[in-house]
Each structure stands twice: as C-alpha cells, then as structure tokens.
Amino acid sequence: DTGVSQNPRHKITKRGQNVTFRCDPISEHNRLYWYRQTLGQGPEFLTYFQNEAQLEKSRLLSDRFSAERPKGSFSTLEIQRTEQGDSAMYLCASSPPGTGTGELFFGEGSRLTVL
C-alpha cells in the first residue's frame, strides 16, 4: 500500500487562473477528506466524501471551490479564479470503513502559491 498520494506537490499560479489538485486515497478507504492549512495554523476542514457522495462542505468553501470523487476512488479539488488568499497547503486524507472517526491517513499535501 503506497499511502495517500497527492498531485501536484507544488503549484504556482497567477491570480485569476484555475487550478486542480488530485488525491488518490489508500485503496478500499471509503472516506476522503480535504483540508486547507496556512502557515502556522492547523488544518481547516473543507469537505469530505463517503464513497462518491459529498456529505459535508465547510462554510469556508466558497463557490469558487469544487470537489468531486466521481467513482468513489480518487478525488479532485478545483479552485476557480484563484485569489492570493487561496495560497495554502491543501491536504487530502482518507480513512477505512467501519472505523467511525478514527485515524486519518494524510497525503504529503499540495502547496499552492498564487502570485
């Protein structure tokens, strides 16, 4: 098992551009989470999926953000019309079925810099 994989690891973009991040969870993990982390802060919850269903979205998630998990496997997080305030580390995590809110397995993150 290779763990949670996130791509790209780093993305530099200009304000107003769209960016997309991909997360491949650990196989057979049915829950997938997206968090955002800014420098010196803890991760902030953005959204999570159980299989392909998006079950919760944070109020922090503006309508410029959209996440999908079309076949219940990998997930994408798209940010449209990026702003400098979107600069952050975007973390993906997954968890196996039947564990309640147990351990989350995190990827290495995708760092976004908006110029």
Q: Which stretch binds other proteins (CB under 8 A): 11-19, 20-28, 44-52, 79-87?
A: 44-52
> Residue 115 class from Cβ within 10 Å (0-12 exposed, 13-18 middle, 19+ buried)?
exposed
DSSP 37-101: E-TTS--EEEEEEETTEEEEE-TT--TTEEEE-TTSS-EEEEE-S--GGG-EEEEEEEE-TT-SS
The residue among 58 and 66 lying less far from other proteins, judged by its C-beta, is 58
Is residue 108 involved in binding other proteins (CB under 8 A)? yes
**Nearer CB in complex with other proteins: 80/106:** 106
- Per rule CB under 8 A, is residue 33 in the interface with other proteins? yes
Examine residue 69 and tell whether it contacts other proteins (CB under 8 A). Answer: no
CB of 22 closer than 8 Å to CB of 6: yes
Q: Decide if residue 79 touches other proteins (CB under 8 A).
A: no
- 70 near other proteins, rule: CB under 8 A: no
Q: How near is the Cβ of 13 to other proteins at its closest, in Å? A: 19
Residue 28 sits in the site that holds other proteins (CB under 8 A): no
